[in-house]
Structure 1
Amino acid sequence: MEENIRIVQKHYDQDVKEEWDRLEKHPFEFIVTTRMMNRYIKPGDKILDIGGGPGRYSIYYTQKGCDVTLVDLSSENVKFALEKSKELHTGIKAVSADARDVDKILDGKYDHIFLMGPMYHLLREKDRIAALDSALSLLKNGGFLYISFILMFSGIIYDMKYMPQLILEDSEQTFLNAVLKDKSYAGDAFTKAFFIRQKDILPFLARFPLRKKHLFGQESILSPCEKNILSQPDEVIDKWTEVAEKLCEREEYLSYSEHAMYIGQKVR
């Protein structure tokens, strides 16, 4: 196993509960994303969740009547997901594996495949291509692939929201310079991570047999002001969420999100 992959695996092995709690602390990502995905996913569908961490999406879709298999690099994430599934009386299946090798350990065909993690941490393009090829080999013709990316500007949003003083730190300068030079970034962050320019997503995916259905911001416009909105009464939160869903595909607002998802349909 390459050193970068080992570092990512160790990070998630040590932070399982934090990763599970993340979508409760930052709920708009989950809400907007599942509303978009629910346009295609129906009870009884067969789902493969590659890089699904401790199982938030896997368990959610199992509760909606889907047949879900979770694959994650972190064995501790897999262990947690299985325990949480048992606690919630759902029936996910889960196994630990590298996203690039999933087709070597699983067979059969899936209606939907999630890649909501591997594109964050595979630093080399050839490895991101390998993970997508592996997923596509397990996807039915006409099935749907859901691919998440961390956007370049997400690092700026995070620093401005939580730790604006980081802009002065030497450790932040390589990433900041990449932003200023309009480049993508692969390297040290919360762990080893890849941040993509939003304008590079569609050209990267054009090489694969996919028909684009959607490219949207998973937090839509809400990420920079998330804390303020979450402090409001429920009716205010609900209205902003409704607006966010309607705006999440607007290209000019994509950089307000920290994550972007591409939904594509396999065409051959």
Structure 2
Amino acid sequence: MDRTTKEIRDYYNANVKEEWNRIAGRPEFLITCRYLDRYIRPGDSVLDIGGGPGRYSLYLSEKGCDVTLLDLSEENVKFAAEQAKNSNLKLCCVSGDARTADRLFAETFDHILLMGPMYHLLEASERAKAVWAALKLLKPGGTIFISFINLYAGMIYAMKFEPDIIADPQEHAFYQAFLENRSFAGEAFTRAYYARQDEILPFLEQFPIDRLHLLGQESISSPCEENIMGQRKELVDLWLDFCEQLCEREELLSWSEHLLYIGRKRNTE
């Protein structure tokens, strides 16, 4: 295992509960689930690659899907299995690397979630390995969900929670990349890749998939989500409905911290 992979694995092994709680009831999770529901039906088979402690896996299992979770972190996998057992849900949990996922399973799946590995594969060639591995496991006509950390995410987070971080010399490389309008791959909360939104579609053109959607997973809510989610339920629901209607507008993608590409695998036979 190389140094970067070990660092990422160790980070998630040490932060299982934080990752489990990070998206609970947040726009990122709620809007993403609305898009999952458009394509994934009860009884469908789903492989959740890099699914962390299993928020999406358990959501889909509860919906009646046949779900397998694959994650680099052994502690994430263990936690997800415990959550499934406690909730009396069926969930197959496996520890492994997204780049070699195709070596771990003999079967193919109706849908594949790749909503995590792109965050931490710093080289385009490594990101491509993960996508190719996923596509080998996806049935023709199946849907793939691939998420990226938006370049703007670091700035949005800093303005919301740690405004003094801009004065930290160790953060200079990230903010310089932002000023120069280029992606960033390096040290962040752990080793991470922050994508420019205009890099995503060109990168994915090399694969036999047709674009269905490119959306901001938080939509326009990200800068103010703490305030929005603190409102009464009726207002929260209205804002989520509004955000869902805006989340694919290209000019608004920079408001989101995470970007989600949804595609359909071509039948190349």
TM surpasses 0.5: yes
Task: Tell me the amino acid that sits aligned with residue 196 of structure 1.
Answer: A
Deviations 1:162-207 (A, max 9, x none): 0111111101110000000011000000000000000000000000
Structure 1 residue 75: Cα displacement: 0.4
Residue 92 in structure 1 maps to residue 91 in structure 2 = yes
Aligned residues: 267
- Equivalent residue number for residue 20 of structure 2: 20
Task: Tell me the amino acid that sits aligned with residue 59 of structure 1.
Answer: L
Distance in 2 (CA, whole Å) between partners of 1:219 and 1:225 is 10
- Equivalent residue number for residue 188 of structure 1: 187
Task: Tell me the amino acid that sits aligned with residue 13 of structure 2.
Answer: D
Please list, as runs of the form range in 1=range in 2, the aligned pairs for 1:76-155 lying within 5 A after superposition: 76-155=75-154
Task: Tell me the amino acid that sits aligned with residue 73 of structure 1.
Answer: L
Distance in 2 (CA, whole Å) between partners of 1:86 and 1:105 is 23
Please list, as runs of the form range in 1=range in 2, the aligned pairs for 1:116-265 lying within 5 A after superposition: 116-265=115-264
Distance in 1 (CA, whole Å) between partners of 2:189 and 2:258 is 15
Specify the SS of the correspondent of 1:49. strand
Specify the SS of the correspondent of 1:123. coil
Structure 1 residue 36: Cα displacement: 1.1
Task: Tell me the amino acid that sits aligned with residue 23 of structure 2.
Answer: L
Structure 1 residue 107: Cα displacement: 1.4
- Runs of 4+ deviating beyond 2 Å: none
- Seq. identity, %: 52
Deviations 1:52-90 (A, max 9, x none): 000000010000000000000000000000000000110
User: What's the TM-score once normalised by structure 1's chain length?
Assistant: 0.99
RMSD: 0.7
Task: Tell me the amino acid that sits aligned with residue 181 of structure 2.
Answer: D
Specify the SS of the correspondent of 1:208. coil
Q: Structure 2: state its 5+ residue gaps.
A: none
- Equivalent residue number for residue 7 of structure 1: 7
User: What's the TM-score once normalised by structure 2's chain length?
Assistant: 0.98
Q: Structure 1: state its 5+ residue gaps.
A: none
